[in-house]
Structure 1
Amino acid sequence: MSRITRRQALGVTAGAALGLTAAGRATAAPEPAAGSSAHPTGPAPFEEIFMGRRIKGGPSRGGGHHGGHHGGYSIRIDGGELHVMRNADGTWISVITHYEPVATPLAVARAAVRELQGAPLVPLTSS
């Protein structure tokens, strides 16, 4: 009669727990941040003055030249386009705040304005 060892039991338990965790992450949709008003098809449009800058966001028209990396959403600061991207976990980043993911496009626009510290948003060019 073969007996299971403590090491084997721990390995099976750890593997099962890891599998359940991965399955839960794969099926759970990211929840909207508290206070955000998400559309059924995406984040709600916004327009406001923040720290003296006009920020505006909404669903983008057409595919754009970035192949949809922007999550189907366009953000403008004082009329200039802020390049944004939606991460796989539902968070958002911009070309200015690339290493600081936030929950909503409004939050990424505000973070970019804070980071710009009054400097103009310079358009990105492909060279």
Structure 2
Amino acid sequence: MNRITRREALGVSAGALTALGLTAAAATAAVRPPRTSPDPSAGAAGPGTGDTVNEVYLGRRIRITPGTGGGHHGGHHSPGLPTVRIDGQELHVMRNADGSWISVINHYETYADPTSLARAAVRELQGSDLVPFGGAA
């Protein structure tokens, strides 16, 4: 009697799933839109200096405008935060005490400025739409 053990079955299954995952990752990378350079009309220095950013990154439109002082997201955030939008949807951003930035997409990784934060959010979204903050659909 030649029976397969549970350990052997799990090993074969794990190997097959790994191969499937690697194949899917390679296919996703192959269909990813090419990187594009920033819009020449956008501010070169970025929103930390009060400039407006308007660029296409990995096929997604990023717009960052300086904070106005009236608050954010219905007025429950500190005034002066920039407004970061990805394809017209606002990305909730926060500034840390050390001057770094985080977003609602990833609270565990910090970024030097809102532009690099928005680009990281685009990569993290992997083509998905940004859902409005607050759960209202």
What range is the shorter-chain TM-score in?
0.5 to 0.7
Aligned pairs for 1:71-90 (under 5 A) are: 72-90=81-99
Say which SS state the counterpart of residue 37 (structure 1) adopts. coil
**% identical aligned pairs:** 52
Q: Give the aligned length.
A: 90
Indicate the residue corresponding to 2:21 in structure 1.
none
Preserved contact between residue 97 and residue 108 of structure 1 (Cα < 8 Å): no
> 5+ residue gaps in structure 1?
1-35
Indicate the residue corresponding to 2:77 in structure 1.
67
Structure-2-length-normalised TM-score: 0.58
Q: Does 1:46 align with 2:53?
A: yes
Aligned pairs for 1:1-127 (under 5 A) are: 37=45, 42-61=49-68, 62-64=70-72, 65=74, 66-68=76-78, 72-125=81-134
* Deviation at residue 43 of structure 1 after TM alignment: 4.8
* Deviation at residue 37 of structure 1 after TM alignment: 2.3
* Deviation at residue 78 of structure 1 after TM alignment: 0.2
Instruction: Determine the C-alpha separation between the residues in 1 that align with 2:56 and 2:130.
Output: 15
> 5+ residue gaps in structure 2?
1-43
Structure-1-length-normalised TM-score: 0.62
- Which ranges of 4 or more aligned residues in structure 1 deviate by more than 6 Å? none
Say which SS state the counterpart of residue 116 (structure 2) adopts. helix
Preserved contact between residue 43 and residue 105 of structure 1 (Cα < 8 Å): no
Preserved contact between residue 101 and residue 112 of structure 2 (Cα < 8 Å): yes
Letter in 2 for 1:95: V
